[in-house]
Amino acid sequence: MSQDTDTTPTTDTADLKRGPFESWVNRSISNPENVYQAMFYLVTGFFLVTTLFPFYWLVVLALTPNEQIVDMGLLPKGTNVGAFVEVFQAIPFHRFVINSLLIATATTIIVLVLASLAGYVFGRLDFPGKKPLMLVILAISYFPPAAFLLPLFSLFTGGKALYFQTSAITIGLQSPDLYNSPWPMVMPFSALFLPLSIFILTTFYGQIPDGLEDAARIEGTTRLGALARVIVPLSAPGIATAGVLTFITVYNEYFFSSLMTNGAWQNWAPIVEGILGYRGHHETPYNLMAAASIVGVLPVAILVVVAQEKIVSGLTSGALKE
């Protein structure tokens, strides 16, 4: 720039004599919108590259035959689509995915039913103890999963694994069969992820005018009937949000998922075990790990594409206003 200004006059008429960068700068000074535009595209491009690159890397590895995965560049060494078939042959990977999907579905249903009832109570009824109860429910979600692990493990193994076999509750639910079933995951997830859904639904249910519920009541509907026929349908977006968030959170969970089964797909081991299962192989099948990761991400990726608006609106109304 400074060299240029020595030799050429810096008037607007000299615009043509400047390089493209200088004239762009000149235009930008008179019109800062351009700069904002350029910065915006630069930043957006940066975010797109950084968020998408790891996925691209998975694709590169999945397409490269495993024996060729050495000193990889940024391009795949081959187009071995076979890895995506082999994923299901090396171990029954689809079974792990189906286990996870079923566990997530069961949890979502339990959470939605319980949170609907609780959301109705917190959003529409007034009673003593309401605030403290909500606080207790919120506080539970602050505890680390590690704080629940030991007793729950004991509970689901029928008290065999830990000291706690004398506890009344353990005796009540004692059944060694609970371990290696979906319940050691579904029940903790339902309890631990319930608070968020309760808060989302409390907000949605609380916003419905009393008049609508009263009208249904006058026509002879019970309170529960009004909840099912008036309030729930009117809060469909809130329920969808809570459902999507719960489903994704459960499908993605690691802690209990990796500790509450013995890792066999027959025993309801979820996707965590499926993906980590490739690591134990004699010769590490990097391309299968990558392909399995891509397959495993697809269900939630599709859900995010479909439900992105709902996720944002649900977080706006539920999680943050509380």
Max Cα-Cα span within the chain? 93
User: What letter represents residue 301's amino acid?
Assistant: A
Cα→Cα distances 26→21, 22, 36, 174, 195, Å: 9, 6, 14, 78, 55
The CB-of-4 to another protein minimum distance in angstroms stands at 28
Q: Which is nearer to another protein, 1 or 140 (CB)?
A: 140
CA proximity to 108, closest of 253, 223, 230: 253
The CB-of-2 to another protein minimum distance in angstroms stands at 27
Q: What's CA 254's distance to the chain center, in Å?
A: 12
The CB-of-79 to another protein minimum distance in angstroms stands at 18
Site for another protein in 76-105 (CB under 8 A): none
Take residue 82 and report the two structure tokens written for it: 């076979």
Contact between 106 and another protein per CB under 8 A: no
Contact between 155 and another protein per CB under 8 A: yes
**The only residue of 73, 209, 233, 280 in contact with another protein, by rule CB under 8 A:** 73
Q: Which is nearer to another protein, 14 or 311 (CB)?
A: 311
Contact mark string toward another protein, 15..54, x via CB under 8 A: -----------------x---x---x--xx--xx-xxx-x
Contact between 166 and another protein per CB under 8 A: no
Helix axes 93-124, 83-90, angle to 10 degrees: 90
Q: What's CA 95's distance to the chain center, in Å?
A: 20
Size of interface with another protein, in residues (CB under 8 A): 101
Helix (H, G, I), strand (E, B) or coil at 13: helix
Contact between 192 and another protein per CB under 8 A: yes
Site for another protein in 203-222 (CB under 8 A): 222
Site for another protein in 225-264 (CB under 8 A): 248, 251-255, 257-259
Could you tell me if 295 and 84 are in contact, meaning their C-beta atoms sit under 8 angstroms apart? yes
**The only residue of 14, 72, 102, 240 in contact with another protein, by rule CB under 8 A:** 72
**The only residue of 17, 27, 94, 321 in contact with another protein, by rule CB under 8 A:** 321
Cα→Cα distances 108→7, 112, 257, 298, 310, Å: 71, 6, 16, 19, 16
Contact mark string toward another protein, 279..298, x via CB under 8 A: -------x--xx-xx--xx-
Q: Which is nearer to another protein, 121 or 242 (CB)?
A: 121
Torsion of CA 20, 25, 30, 36, to 10 degrees: 110
The Cβ-side half-sphere exposure at 131, using a 13 Å CA radius, reads: 0
